[in-house]
Amino acid sequence: MSNKIRAKITGLGRYVPPRVVTNDEIAKMVDTNNEWIVERSGIHQRHWVEKGTPTSELAVKAIEQLLEQRGISATEIELIIVSTVTPDMMFPSTACIIQNRIGATNAWGFDISAACSSFLYSLTTGAQFIETGKHKKVLVVGADVMTTIINPEDRATIVLFGDGAGAVLLEPTGEGEEGLGILDFRHEIDGSGGEHLYMAAGGSLHPASHETVANKMHFAHQNGQQVFKFAVRKMGELSAAMLDRHQLTGDDLSCFIAHQANLRIIDATANKIGLAPEKVIKNIHKYGNTTAATIPLAIGDAIEEGKLKKGDLVLFAAVGAGFTSGSVLARWAY
């Protein structure tokens, strides 16, 4: 291993709203049932915010938990990167709102929009500032209130999504930690897939108007079959490529944490890289797809279940609207 400085995750905070929405409740809203949802997605329930709750509120609660766990003040944070497709507003950025709310008076920041891949994109971006020595403490947040952009009459999306937030702290590795931290990343985009998962209105192409509201253009639209096919292929490809690049196999991994979009996608990827079932972290049954929050929420479950410990080799993978995709290889540091 190289002796270069690497970025390591040193703390984690998570938050989901208290309201739990079961599949049976969803079945009262659209033509579906619990068995159909579980069979197609693996989801049993999801957490939804109360109306009027912004993304920043969930993010702040996760960050507060992180700061308490790490035992540091918000004034020590130098950079805030927020992963979200449901910002509080078009501008200012949600990073600005969070910075003010938590009192991170010495931090700058920005948002990253890469849908379900955005937490990994943000993790990789934050790591660069640590590796160059420019920053010592970088806050990476994944937070989305997907219920604000989901059509309650659309069976294709309402069964899938939940609300949640997670935050991690990145810091540099120290003496004796040369093999720990974020080891490598591989990210891609395929813009031709944008037509299969998108929200048409609200930007400069279709500014908000009576027409865009009437035509339900402010809701997420998904071609589920095309998204599923791409996700199964691409998540498996990137995961296998990452292992090949480091002369590793699934046996070398202690833990695999994928974006929690669909249980069948996660299982297909795990099978492709030869992973034992006990190494695959799954919590989609509890939270549904929380977009940018799924991976930090799953990290917390992996730690609580004793499946992610200091020194463990972990592979992260995600695919999202865009299409975006990515994988990150890390040696866990705490």
151 is catalytic: no
Burial code (b: 16+ CB inside 10 Å, e: under 16) for 76-115 equals ebbbbbbbbbbbbeeeebbbbbbbeebebeebebebbbbb
The single residue of 47, 196, 259, 283 carrying the catalytic annotation is: 259
Beta-strand ranges (E) seen in the chain are: 7-15, 20-22, 45-47, 79-83, 108-112, 138-145, 163-172, 181-189, 197-198, 221-222, 255-258, 313-320, 324-331
Measured in degrees and rounded to the nearest 5, phi and psi for residue 108 equal -110, 175
The single residue of 23, 262, 283, 289 carrying the catalytic annotation is: 289
Instruction: Report d(CA 248, CA 313) in Å as an integer.
Output: 10
- DSSP-derived letter for residue 132 is T
259 is catalytic: yes
The single residue of 23, 47, 96, 116 carrying the catalytic annotation is: 116
| Catalytic residue annotation | 116, 259, 289
